[in-house]
Structure 1
Amino acid sequence: MNHQRIAFVIEDLYGGGAQKSLLYTADQLRQRGHAVKVFTLRDRVEHRLPEGLEIENLAVVTPFTKATSTVLTEKWQARKIKKALDAWKPEVVISCSCDKITRHLDLPNLYFWIKSDVSAKFSDPAQREKAFAKVRRFYTGRKVIAVSQGVKENLEKVVGLKAETIIPIYNPYEREPFEAMAAEPLILPDGVEEGRYFLSVAALEPRKRQDRLLRAYRRAVDEHGLSFPLLIMGKGKAENEAKVASLVKELKLEDRVHLLGYHHNPYPYIRAATAMVLTSEAEGLPRVLIEALLLHTPVISVDCPSGPKEILTQELEDFLLEPDDESGLAAALARMEANPVTIEPRHYQQFLRENVLPHFEALNL
Structure 2
Amino acid sequence: MKEGNVAFIIHTLSNGGAERIMSYLTQNYSTAENKYLIVYHRSEVEYDFSGELISLDIAPSNNVFGKILNYLKRIYKLRRLKDELNIKKSISMLDSPNIINILSKRKDKVIISLRNHKSKEYSGLKKLIYRKIIKFLYNKADKIIAISKGVADDLIENFKLDKTKINIIYNPVDKIKIQSLMHEKIIEEHILNEFKKNKIVINSGRLSYQKGQWHLIKVFKKIAENNNGVKLAILGKGELEQELKELVKSLGLSEKVIFLGYQENPFKYIYKSDIFVLSSLYEGFGNVIVESMACRVPVISTDCKSGPKEILSSENLRNYDEDKINYLDYGVLVPCFKDEKINYDSELSNEEEYLYKAIIDMLDDSNKIEYYKINGEKRLDDFSLIKIVSKWEEL
TM bucket by the smaller chain? 0.7 to 0.9
Aligned-pair distance for 1:129?
3.3
Equivalent position of 1:83 in the other structure: 80
Measured in 1, the distance between the counterparts of 2:193 and 2:72 equals 57
In structure 2, what is the equivalent of residue 45 of structure 1? 44
1:57 matched to 2:55 = yes
* TM-superposed deviation, 1:77: 4.1
- Tell me which residue corresponds to 1:332: 358
Distance 2:67 2:169 in 1: 32
Stretch of structure 1 that moved more, 326-335 or 97-106:
97-106
Deviations 1:65-96 (A, max 9, x none): 99855878745643442332233334322123
User: Residues 16, 249 of structure 1: CA spacing in aligned structure 2 closer, same or farther, 3 A cutoff?
Assistant: closer
Kindly tell me: are residues 301 and 194 of structure 1, through their superposed partners in 2, closer, same or farther at Cα, counting changes over 3 Å?
farther
Query: How many residues align structurally?
Result: 355
Counterpart position of 2:113: 113
Residues 297 and 73 from structure 1, CA distance in 2 versus in 1: closer, same or farther, beyond 3 angstroms? closer
1:322 partnered with 2:335: yes
Q: Do structure 1's residue 342 and structure 2's residue 341 form an aligned pair?
A: no
Contact 1:65 1:73 in 2 (8 A): no
**What is the CA distance between 1:350 and its match in structure 2?**
1.6
**C-alpha distance in 1 between matches for 2:3 and 2:297:** 37
Structure 1 residues 124-135: aligned runs within 5 Å = 124=124, 127-135=126-134
Does the aligned pair in 2 maintain the 1:219–1:327 contact within 8 Å? no
2:239 is the alignment partner of 1:208: no
Shift of 1:63: 5.5
Answer yes or no: is the 8 Å Cα contact 1:194–1:272 preserved in 2. Answer: no
Instruction: Determine the C-alpha separation between the residues in 1 that align with 2:201 and 2:178.
Output: 19
Equivalent AA in structure 2 for residue 46 of structure 1: V
Contact 1:299 1:316 in 2 (8 A): no
One of 233, 237, 247 as aligned partner of 1:231: 233
SS in 1 for 2:134: helix
Q: Which residue of structure 2 lines up, in the alignment, with residue 20 of structure 1?
A: 20
Unpaired runs of 5+ residues, structure 1, are: none
Q: Which amino acid aligns with 1:212?
A: H
Counterpart contact for 2:283–2:305, Cα < 8 Å: yes
Q: Give the AA of the match of 2:332.
A: F
Separation in 2, partners of 1:197, 1:343: 19
- Check the 8 A contact 1:13/1:44 in 2, yes or no: no
CA-CA distance at 1:270 after TM superposition = 0.4
Q: Runs of at least 4 residues of structure 1 off by over 6 A?
A: 64-67, 70-73
CA contact (8 A) 1:197 1:273 kept: yes
Provide the C-alpha distance between the structure 1 equivalents of 2:268 and 2:330, rounded to a whole number of angstroms.
25
3-state SS of 2:199 partner: coil
3-state secondary structure, aligned to 1:357? helix
Q: CA deviation at 1:241?
A: 2.9
TM-score calculated relative to the size of structure 2 = 0.79
Mapped pair 1:4 → 2:3: yes
TM-score by length of 1: 0.85
- 1:21-57 per-residue CA deviation (whole Å, 9 max, x = no partner) reads 2122012013x6753222334433331443x522233
Counterpart Cα distance in 2 of 1:203 and 1:216:
19
The CA distance in 2 between the partners of 1:65 and 1:262, in whole Å, is 25
Which residue of 2 is the match for residue 290 of structure 1?
Answer: 290
Secondary structure of the residue that 1:253 maps to in structure 2? Answer: coil
How far 1:252 moved relative to its partner?
A: 3.4
Which residue does the alignment assign to 2:344? none
Superimposed CA distance per residue, residues 152-171 of structure 1 (whole angstroms, 9 cap, x where no aligned partner): 11111233333651111122
Higher mean alpha-carbon deviation, 299-308 vs 137-146, is at 137-146
- Correspondence 1:362 to 2:386: no
Q: 1:122, 1:128 within 8 Å by CA — same for their partners in 2?
A: yes
SS in 2 for 1:248: helix
Query: SS where residue 281 of structure 2 aligns?
Result: coil
* Structure 2 CA distance for partners of 1:39 and 1:248, relative to 1, 3 Å: closer
Alignment correspondent of 2:34: 35
**1: CA distance, partners of 2:257 / 2:56:** 47
* AA matched with 1:336: M
Match for residue 139 of structure 1?
138
Aligned-pair RMSD on alpha carbons?
3.0
- 1:158 matched to 2:158: yes
Tell whether the 8 Å contact from 1:15 to 1:46 is kept in structure 2 after alignment.
no
| Identity value in percent | 24
* 2:127 counterpart of 1:96: no
Q: 1:58, CA displacement in angstroms?
A: 4.6
